[in-house]
Structure 1
Amino acid sequence: MTTFASPTQGGASWSLWRVDAKPGAEGPVHTIDGEQVWSWVGGSAVVELAGERYTVAAGDTVVMPAGVVRRVVAGPGGGYSAIVTAPAGVRAAVDGADYGVPPWIV
């Protein structure tokens, strides 16, 4: 994760960051209590969102609603890069347990 904008970097009300995932990397199954917008700029992935699976690649955007169970799995060939934004201060939960505000959003 590379943070581009966040409250601790100058008072942004939305955080903006880049995700670079290695081939086959799997994010955790989790929820976020705010909307996220993911835009892929390279590679490919499978997005698991609310029980559905979506294959995405560079040029695709997925809006992930607040509170919906999600996971992103990097494509096996080259991983992926994505630019993501969410309201500052959103909290993550894994298996119903509060994870807190991810450090790249603070």
Structure 2
Amino acid sequence: MTLIRHADCRRTETPNGVMTTLASPTQGDAGTAVWRVDMLPGRTGPLHTFDTEQVWSCLDGGATIDLGGRGLTVGPGDTVVMPAGVPRQVTTGAEGGFVAVVTAPGGSRVYNPEGAADDPCDIAPKGDERLVPPWIR
């Protein structure tokens, strides 16, 4: 059993918010990655795709999630299951941010869907390259 203290959680900041790793293969030796997303108001994350399923549970605020071309509006208490291989993009409202807890298999890799613009946050690599984001490692 591993106890991960809040003070020891890994935090990764991007232009859109902060991902706080609660558990992952390199933090607690977990097979599943669990992280908190604190996204700032009026932001749009990059269009990207993961090679594994993710489950997002909204704790506070709200967002619109473009999931494979389908717009989903989420608020506190809502959960979205994002299938592997489906492009997604999260946008928060101008007045409020978005807080969620997310789970995915450890080692999940992100990549750019075909035709996506370059990611200004550099979490989704260019071309066919795939990488494990810091909050999932």
TM-score past 0.5 threshold: yes
- Post-superposition offset of 1:95: 4.0
1:105 aligns with 2:128: no
- Post-superposition offset of 1:76: 1.6
- Aligned equivalents of 1:2 and 1:99: distance in 2? 21
Match of 1:65 among 83, 104, 116: 83
User: Secondary structure of 1:8's match?
Assistant: coil
List gaps (5 residues or longer) in structure 1.
Answer: none
Structure 1's consecutive aligned runs of 4 or more residues displaced over 3 angstroms after TM superposition are: none
User: Secondary structure of 1:9's match?
Assistant: coil
- Aligned equivalents of 1:95 and 1:61: distance in 2? 23
Contact kept in structure 2, 1:47 and 1:70, CA below 8 Å: yes
1:11 aligns with 2:29: yes
Q: What are the within-5 Å matches in structure 2 for residues 66-105 of structure 1?
A: 66-96=84-114, 97=127, 98-105=129-136
- Post-superposition offset of 1:30: 0.7
- Could you give the per-residue CA deviations for residues 57-88 of structure 1, whole angstroms, max 9, x where no partner exists? 11100000000011111122111100000000
Q: Which amino acid aligns with 1:77?
A: E
- Post-superposition offset of 1:10: 2.1
Q: Give TM-score, length-normalised by structure 2.
A: 0.74
Question: What is the aligned partner in structure 2 of residue 25 from structure 1?
Answer: 43
**RMSD of Structure 2 on Structure 1 (CA):** 1.0
- Post-superposition offset of 1:94: 1.6
Contact kept in structure 2, 1:28 and 1:94, CA below 8 Å: no
- Aligned equivalents of 1:94 and 1:100: distance in 2? 10
- Count of residues paired in the alignment: 106
Q: Give TM-score, length-normalised by structure 1.
A: 0.95
User: Secondary structure of 1:100's match?
Assistant: coil
Q: Percent same amino acid among aligned pairs?
A: 56
1:34 aligns with 2:52: yes
Match of 2:63 among 45, 48, 52: 45
